[in-house]
Amino acid sequence: MNILYAKTVLYLYAGTEKLVRQIDELVERKALASANDFSPAVNQCAAIAELTRCKAALLYLKEVCERILPRFSERELIYLDYKYFKKRDRSEYAGMDFCSRTYFRRQIRLAEKFAEALSNDGIDDRVFCEEYLSCRFIKRLYGRVREKEKEARKNKSAAEKAAARRLETVLPADKKSGGESVYKVFTAADAAAVKGEGDLESQKIG
């Protein structure tokens, strides 16, 4: 199961309000600047329409998340908040395990559970890629999540190899033969592409 899109949706959910507000501001700036924009009016309208469509997509994903998340237990929600949302008081993290291998396996299971719920709600990996990645900043965030996953796998592999080498140095000879973040979701270049005067706020990937 591809859970990258589910992780992307969780990160988007955490920043939906700020992103929507920034899209509104960008649309307003484009509208005010149109008097001095001598490009074809149809192009200006298309750019605003695309931003409006992406805003609607964000709001719909938020609505879906708000239907799904109540199905998770309080403990599961704390783990999701720690990784994706960062909205709870730090005191709520007391006594939780955020460091062991169990934590990382739990996060994988939670992402899989969320992806399954998204799919049951009509948003599987195919639908997400076809209908949401056309929004520039969603595609950019998806790419950042994918790169972070690649980096994590690379680091895990390197750590396992290092552990294996350390193990070889302490095993008796007769046993050796028998013997384991800030990313921009809408950059200045993107803003320039739609002739806006700024960029959408950064979204952290934990």
**Amino acid 114: pLDDT:** 98
Residue 205 has pLDDT above 80, yes or no: no
Q: How far apart are CA 135 and CA 58, in angstroms?
A: 10
Q: 183: which strand partners?
A: 203
Domain spans in the chain, listed from the N-terminal domain onward: 4-203
Around 122, how many Cα atoms within 13 Å sit in the side-chain half-sphere?
7
Better pLDDT: 165 or 131: 131
User: What's the pLDDT band for 167 if we cut at 50, 70, 90?
Assistant: low
- Closest listed residue to residue 181, CA positions, set 202, 154, 158: 202
Least confident of 74-78, 99-103, 161-165, 175-179: 175-179
pLDDT digits (tens, 9 = 90+) for 26-83: 888 888 777 677 678 787 788 889 999 999 999 999 999 999 999 999 999 999 999 9
Q: Which two tokens stand for residue 192?
A: 């320039």
Distances (CA, A) of 161 to 21, 62, 171, 205: 46, 41, 15, 27
**Amino acid 38: pLDDT:** 66
Angle, alpha carbons 104-99-166 (nearest 5°)? 90
**Amino acid 23: pLDDT:** 93
